[in-house]
Structure 1
C-alpha cells in the first residue's frame, strides 16, 4: 500500500520511474526531453515509442527511420565519446547493456547522468522496451498501443508454429571468421518461435566464433545467413563445397536481411515471418 502511495505521489509530481533490464530503478523528475541513444535499435524503438523528437544524440549506423540519420553522432559501437555525450546535456542516456562499455556507463552515472540499460533477449522484450521508453519520454499514448499491437502479432505467429516438427538451424552472422549466435540471443527466440532449434544454443558467448568441424558435428537441417544489407551474401554459397552437410545436400541455404532480424525492434516480426517461411520450406521438402 505504501508503495502504491509513493508511485501515486511521484506521478502527481510528474516523476517517471521504470526498472531497467538490470533491475535498476531509473527515475526522472519529469519525462525526458533530451535523450542520447547508444545503439541503433534503441534509436529505432524511441521513434516507434513516439519519442524521436526528444533524441539529441545517436551512435553510428543509426539509420532507421530516415530522420535518425540527421541526429548528432556521439561515436560508434566500439568508441563512444563521453565528452560528446556530456556536451549534448542529456537528461537521459539509453545504453545497450550488451554493447556499451560498463566503464562508460559508470562514468555517466558518476557525472549524475541518468542511464537506462536496455538489453532485450526475448521477442516480448521489444514491447517492454517500447513501454519503458514511452514512460521515460512521456509518450505512453503512442508506445502503449504499438506495444500491444506488436504482442498481438507475435502471439498470432506463435500459435501458427507451436506444434510443427523441429528443424535444426545454423544461423550464420558472418563468414570470416565463421560466427553464429547462442541461445541467449533474441534470434534464438525467433528460431524457436518458428519451431526450430539453434544448433549452437549451448555456446558460452553471445556471438561465438565457430569451426567448420563443429558445424559438421551438428549437421543442421538449414543454414540461414544475415550478412550486410538486403542482398544475399555471396559467402552463403561457399557451403556448396560441402554437399555432405544436410542443409547443403537439400539446398536449404537461406537469407534473412540483418536489419529485419538482428535489431531488437518492431521490424523483427518481419524477420520472424521470413525465418518461419524458410523453416516451413524445409519441412515441406522433407514430406515429398
Structure 2
C-alpha cells in the first residue's frame, strides 16, 4: 500500500509556499500564500470553494473536490477526496495538487495541518460578507492566473448586489425568521452572510441579536418572535418539508398571511456568486409579504 509519506515525497519537488514566490494572495486567516507560478492543479475542500474556484475562471485546473460539490455540473466529474469533514488524504496527495483551497471553520484542522507539513500550499477561505465573496473570487483568480475572467465575475457580483442595495434601501421592514436547519432547529444572526441578505432585502431578522453565528432555537422562541415571514431551505433543492412545521401553527403571523417561503439552499447557504440569484429571490419573497399586507388591508377596510 502506498503511504501518505511516500506519495508526498513524489509531490514535494513541485510545490512551494514561500514569500519569495511570484504569485501571492492573502487568505481569510490573514496568511500570505505565495506560489512560484500560477496554480495548475487545485483541490477545493468544500462545495462552496469548488464554486468559487470555477467562478474565478480556474475550473479546468480543479483536480479534486469533496462530496456535494455539484455546481457547476462539470464539478461532478472531478475526483472526490471524501467530505469536507473527513478527507482521504492519501487520495488527495496522490492527485498532486499545487494549491489546496481550505475552509476556515469547516475542514478538519488536523488533516489540513498534515497537508501543511507536507509543504502543500493551503489557501483558507470563508467569505462572511458580499464583498468577501467578490474578493475571494479575485484572490483565487490571482493565484490561478485567471484574472480576466475572475475579476469580471467579481465585478458582476458586486454590481448586482449594489443594484439590490439601491432598490431596497427604503423598503418597508418585514420581520423575518430564516430556518437554516431542522433538527436541531437553527437560524442565523445578523453577522451571518444570510443575515446580511435579510437586511439587504429590507427584512428584520427576529433572531439577529443572538450571539452565536448559527444559534439553536426552539419552536417556542419562533412563536414568541411571531415573524411576519418565514423562509427556509430544506433537505434538497426542491424540498419544502421544513415549512410544514410552521403551517401547523395558525397563530403565527407568517402562517396567517401565507408568508411561508422556500428558497433553494444552494442559492442562499453557499457564499458563492449564486448568492446574488438567491438574494434576488429572497427579496422577491419579502416583496410578496409586503403585497399581502396591502391585500389584507383591501379586504378589511374597516380594520386598523
Aligned to 2:133: 126
The separation in 2 between residues aligned to 1:272 and 1:171, in whole angstroms, is: 13
User: Which stretch shows the higher mean deviation, 80-89 or 261-270?
Assistant: 80-89
User: How many pairs align?
Assistant: 276
Match of 2:41 among 34, 42, 47: 34
Query: Corresponding residue for 1:184?
Result: 191
Q: Which residue of 2 aligns with 1:224?
A: 231
SS at match of 1:174: coil
Gaps of 5+ in 2: 1-19, 298-304
1:6 alignment partner in structure 2: none
The CA deviation string for residues 32-78 of structure 1, in whole angstroms up to 9 with x for no partner, is: 11111001111111112110111110000011111111111111132
Kept after mapping to 1: 8 A contact 2:64/2:95: yes
What's the RMSD between the two structures over aligned residues? 1.6
Q: Pick one of 276, 284, 287 that aligns with 1:277.
A: 284
SS in 2 for 1:31: coil
Cα offsets for 1:179-232 (capped at 9, x unmatched): 222223211111111011222223333332211111122221110010133324
Q: CA deviation at 1:234?
A: 2.2
TM-score with structure 1 setting the length: 0.91
> 2:49 & 2:191 partners in 1: Cα distance?
19
Cα distance change of structure 1 residues 184 and 98 upon mapping to structure 2, 3 Å threshold: farther
Q: Tell me the secondary structure at the aligned position of residue 202 of structure 1.
A: coil
Cross-structure match for 1:117: 124
- Segments of structure 1 that go 5 or more residues without pairing to the other structure are 1-12
In the TM superposition, 1:187-202 aligns within 5 A as: 187-202=194-209
Report if the CA contact (8 A) 1:228-1:257 is conserved: no
1:1-288 pair list within 5 angstroms:
15-287=22-294, 288=297
Q: Is the 8 A contact 1:173 1:226 kept in 2?
A: yes
Scaled by the length of structure 2, the TM-score of the pair is 0.86
Structure 2 Cα separation of the partners of residues 182 and 50 of structure 1: 32
Q: Distance between the aligned counterparts of 1:110 and 1:14, measured in 2?
A: 18
Residues 239 and 248 of structure 1 are in contact (CA less than 8 Å); yes or no, is this contact kept in structure 2? yes
Quote the Cα distance in structure 1 between the aligned partners of 2:82 and 2:213. Answer: 23
Q: Tell me how far apart the structure 2 counterparts of residues 80 and 193 of structure 1 sit (CA, whole Å).
A: 36
Distance in 2 (CA, whole Å) between partners of 1:209 and 1:14 is: 44
Q: Counterparts of 1:89 and 1:67 in 2: how far apart (Å)?
A: 20
* 2:86 counterpart SS class: coil
